[in-house]
Amino acid sequence: MAKKTIMLVCSAGMSTSLLVTKMQKAAEEQEIDSDIFAVSSSEADTQLENKDVNVLLLGPQVRFMKDDFEKKLAPKNIPVDVINMSDYGMMNGENVLNQALKLIED
């Protein structure tokens, strides 16, 4: 299976760093080759230019940016979604990883 590159975007990039760690652990347990990382909303465009991202997930606090990212990423066929609020609050890395993988497969 090809490497999955999952980018998480939040307001400062801090709150999602713990979620990234939990998602990486879940990916290892499922033997999924992945590159999962979090950036602040201000760094997102630069990262998208420099990395081959498969899916972009937004933290609930920046859900208002979804339309903008969808317009930007539609030509590249990169799916965009908002992380489920309860999964984010509970830092459920496995559920968020599964959400990302489902978007990549669709």
Which positions are catalytic? 10
Given a contact cutoff of 8 angstroms between Cβ atoms, the answer to whether 38 and 10 are in contact is: yes
Residue 57 CA to chain centroid, in angstroms?
3
Angle subtended by helix axes 15-29 and 93-105, to nearest 10:
70
Closest residue by Cα to residue 6 from 41, 39, 28, 29: 39
